[in-house]
Every structure is written in structure tokens, then in C-alpha cells.
Structure 1
Amino acid sequence: MVLEVIVQNGQEAVQAEKLGADRIELVSAIQEGGLTPSYGTIKQVLESVSIPVQVMIRPHSYHYCYTDGDLKIIREDIRKVLSLGGARIVFGALTKDNRIDEQILDTIIGTYPQLDITFHRAFDEVHSLDEAYESLIKYKMNVKRILTSGGEKSCIEGKWKLRKLVHIAKKMNGPDIMPGAGLTLDNIQGIHETVNANQYHFGKAVRIDQSFRNTFDEDVVKLIQKTLRGGS
């Protein structure tokens, strides 16, 4: 069972690792849903921890339909991550009609075939979850997981769709489904019993007072770990 948490800097990354997080997602501008961190922040985090670090690659928060200019920035940001010794990114791109932008994925993966990609919650805005998943299966050598709330605002509302997606992922041996958005200590047991995913993504729910302004709540993190790992 994999527990992934959001971090914003090196100090938080170190604390997340000490608390037993299995993987971290590094972002900036969390109030905008997460944007690409600075070069210095990426360097600091990669040098500070030994657990996997997925770096958000998102040039703006306006939409997920990227222009040629956006793509140039995206490619440069990915190049910087690789230059620092990282190879893991969080990324997603859609066409104007809300389908997976395979052209952009082809470009990025073709240029940087070593990438380990989490396709982020752009997935929740697609025209069809089933169709979008089928589109991403062909990239499973690079797109290792999909962060999603099942096309709904939160995992509570999307839990039955998440359950279906997890079933499809296991049946098709495609990218793993990683539920995220609205997960809390209070609801994770019920969601996990329904969805049965092998990894979960937490944000502010594992912070003191559920705020990204504060540090991690050690007790909450440990209770979530205990819940997901069957009390072990």
C-alpha cells in the first residue's frame, strides 16, 4: 500500500519521509491546485529525501489545453528536473474537446523516454473516463498512475467510478488508479473498502487544522497508515 502526500519544500519533504510517507508530490502554488516548483525548490527536495519525488509540471492553472508556447515551457521544466537527477513528474494535458492530448504525450515521452509520469486530475475533466483510460493504456510504460477522484469533486462522490477504474486497471494491466481529493482520516476506511486501490494521495487532510499553512499532523498520518495497512 502506497501513501503519497503533497509537499511544498525541502523541510516538508524531510518530515513526510520521517513520518513514513512512501512517495511525495512536490508542488508550488497549492492554492491554484499546484504549479511547477522553482528550480531551487526541486533541487532542495531531491537532495533531501530518498523516497520517490513526483514533481508537478504545470505552467499555469487556467486550463489543461496547452499552446505551443506552453509546451516549450513544459519541456524546459522537465529538462531541468532531469538535469537535477529526477525522472518523475506529475503532468496532464487535454484537447479542446476534453480528451487526452496524445500529441503532447507523444512529444514529451518521445523526447524524454525515461520519465515516470503521474497523470494528474486533468483526468477528472475528460469527456469519458473509460475512453480516457483506454487512451492512457498505450503509454503505460511511462504513465505509471492516474491521480483521480473518479470524475467528481471528491473521492466520496466518485468512489463507485473509482472502483470501476481500479477494476479496469487491474484487468487491463494499465496505469494504476490513485484516488485523491477529499480523502480524510474519517472517510479513508470506507473509501478503501469500496475502491480497493493500492495507493492513495493526501493533501491538506494530513496537515494540522487541515491547512497547507501548517506542518503535518503526525497522529493523523500514523492513523491513516494504520487504516490502509490493516493495523500493521
Structure 2
Amino acid sequence: MKIEVITLNAADTLQAQEFGADRVELVSAMNEGGLTPSYGTLKNVLQSVTIPVQVMVRPHSFGFVYDEKDWNTIKEDISIIQELGGNRIVFGAVTKDGEIDEQLLEKVIHHAPNIDISFHRAFDQVKSQTNAYKVLTKYKDNVKRILTSGGKDRADQAMDELRSLVQLSHELDGPSILVGSGVSPDNLATLHEHIGASEYHIGSGVRVNKDFNQLLDKSKINQARDILK
């Protein structure tokens, strides 16, 4: 069982490592849903920690449909991440019709053939998560996990859907399901009992006062780890 924690900077990420997080998602601009971190943040974080760092690659907050100009930004950001020693990204793209944007995903993989991808909550915008999961399974050598709340705003609103996705991941031997959005030590036991995922993504739920402007709360991370033991 793994716990992934959202972090915003080097101090945050060092804390997450010290407190026992298995992996972090490094982002900026949480008030916009998370965007690509700055060069300086990337450099400081990637030089500071040993736990896996999944770096958000999201050029803007205007949805998950990207054009050629967006692709040029995405490509450069991935190049910088790799130049700084990272090889893990959080990325997702969909078409205007609510399908996985395979063309753009293939561009990402061609540009960085060994990249480890968490396909993020763009997955919650697709018309059919079952069909979208089957598409992403074709890219499982790179798309290692899918961050999703089951198509709803919060994971606790879609426990049946998430359980079905976890079962599908076992049946197809595809990307793992990383359960996120609204996950906290307060509901993790219930979520895990019902969904049975192997990975959980926690943001403000492990912050002091559940506030991204506050520090990580060691006791909450310990509580989450104890629940999943």
C-alpha cells in the first residue's frame, strides 16, 4: 500500500519524506488545481530528496484539452524535468469529445520514451472511464497509474465506481488506480475497505487544519500509514 502526498516546494517534500510518505506529487498553484512547478522549485526538490517525485506537467488551468502551442510548452517542461534528473510526471489530456487524447499522449512518450506517467484527473472528464481505462492500458509501459475520483468531485462519492476500476485494473493487468480527491485519514479506512486500491493520493487531508497554506501534519500521515498497514 502506498501513500502519495501533494507537495509544493523543497521544504514540503523533505517533510513528506521524513514523515514517511511513499511518493509525492509536486505541483504549483493549488488554487488553480495544480500547475507545473517552476524551474527553481524543480531543481531544489529533485536535488533534495530520495523518494519518488511525480512532477505535475500542466501548462494552464483551462481544462485538459491542449493545442499545438500547449504541446510545445509541455514538451519543454518535460525536457527540463529530465535535465534536472527527474523522470516522473503527472500528465493527462482529453479530446473535445471526452476521449483520451492518444495523439498527444503518444507525443509525450515519443519525446520521453522512459518516462513514468501518472495520468491525472483529466481521466475524470472522459465520457466512459471503462473505455478510457482500456485505452490507457495500451500505454501501461509508461502510464503506471491513473489518479481518479471515479468521475465525481470526491472519491467518497464514487466508491462503487472506483472499486470497479480497481477490479478492471486487475483483470487487464493495466495501470494501477490511484484514489484521490477528498481523501484524508478520517475517511481512508472506509474508502480502502470498500475500494481496495493499492495507492491513495492525499492533499490537504494531511495538512494542519486541512489547509495548503499550512505545514504537513506528521500525525495525520502516520494515521494514514497505520490504516493501510
**TM bucket normalised to smaller:** over 0.9
Partner of 1:107: 107
How far has the Cα of 1:132 moved from its partner?
A: 0.4
Distance (whole Å) between structure 2 residues aligned to residue 219 and residue 27 of structure 1: 23
How far has the Cα of 1:184 moved from its partner?
A: 1.5
Local SS of the residue matching 1:166: helix
Partner of 1:162: 162
Displaced runs of 4 or more, over 6 A: none
Which amino acid in 2 is paired with 1:207?
R
Distance (whole Å) between structure 1 residues aligned to residue 170 and residue 194 of structure 2: 15
Distance (whole Å) between structure 2 residues aligned to residue 31 and residue 125 of structure 1: 19
Local SS of the residue matching 1:24: strand
Partner of 2:152: 152
Partner of 1:49: 49
Say how many residue pairs are matched: 229
Distance (whole Å) between structure 2 residues aligned to residue 112 and residue 221 of structure 1: 33
How far has the Cα of 1:98 moved from its partner?
A: 1.0
Query: Which whole-Å deviations, capped at 9, do the CAs of 1:201-221 have from their partners, x for residues lacking one?
Result: 000010000000000111111
Distance (whole Å) between structure 1 residues aligned to residue 22 and residue 224 of structure 2: 13
Partner of 1:82: 82
Distance (whole Å) between structure 1 residues aligned to residue 62 and residue 94 of structure 2: 12
How far has the Cα of 1:71 moved from its partner?
A: 0.3
Partner of 1:120: 120
Aligned pairs for 1:180-199 (under 5 A) are 180-199=180-199
Distance (whole Å) between structure 2 residues aligned to residue 228 and residue 11 of structure 1: 26
Distance (whole Å) between structure 2 residues aligned to residue 115 and residue 109 of structure 1: 7
Unaligned segments of structure 2, at least 5 residues: none
Distance (whole Å) between structure 2 residues aligned to residue 214 and residue 2 of structure 1: 23
Local SS of the residue matching 2:45: helix
How far has the Cα of 1:61 moved from its partner?
A: 0.4
Query: Which whole-Å deviations, capped at 9, do the CAs of 1:64-89 have from their partners, x for residues lacking one?
Result: 10010000000000000000111000
Which amino acid in 2 is paired with 1:30?
M
TM-score by length of 1: 0.98
Query: Which whole-Å deviations, capped at 9, do the CAs of 1:106-156 have from their partners, x for residues lacking one?
Result: 111012101000000000010100010011000000000000000011011
Partner of 1:177: 177
Which amino acid in 2 is paired with 1:97?
D
Local SS of the residue matching 1:5: strand
Distance (whole Å) between structure 2 residues aligned to residue 44 and residue 211 of structure 1: 23
Find out whether 1:22 has 2:22 as its counterpart.
yes
Partner of 2:208: 208
Distance (whole Å) between structure 1 residues aligned to residue 41 and residue 188 of structure 2: 30
TM-score by length of 2: 0.99
Partner of 1:58: 58
Distance (whole Å) between structure 2 residues aligned to residue 35 and residue 109 of structure 1: 20
Query: Which whole-Å deviations, capped at 9, do the CAs of 1:188-213 have from their partners, x for residues lacking one?
Result: 10110011001100000100000000
Distance (whole Å) between structure 2 residues aligned to residue 170 and residue 156 of structure 1: 21
Which amino acid in 1 is paired with 2:72?
K
Distance (whole Å) between structure 2 residues aligned to residue 49 and residue 183 of structure 1: 24
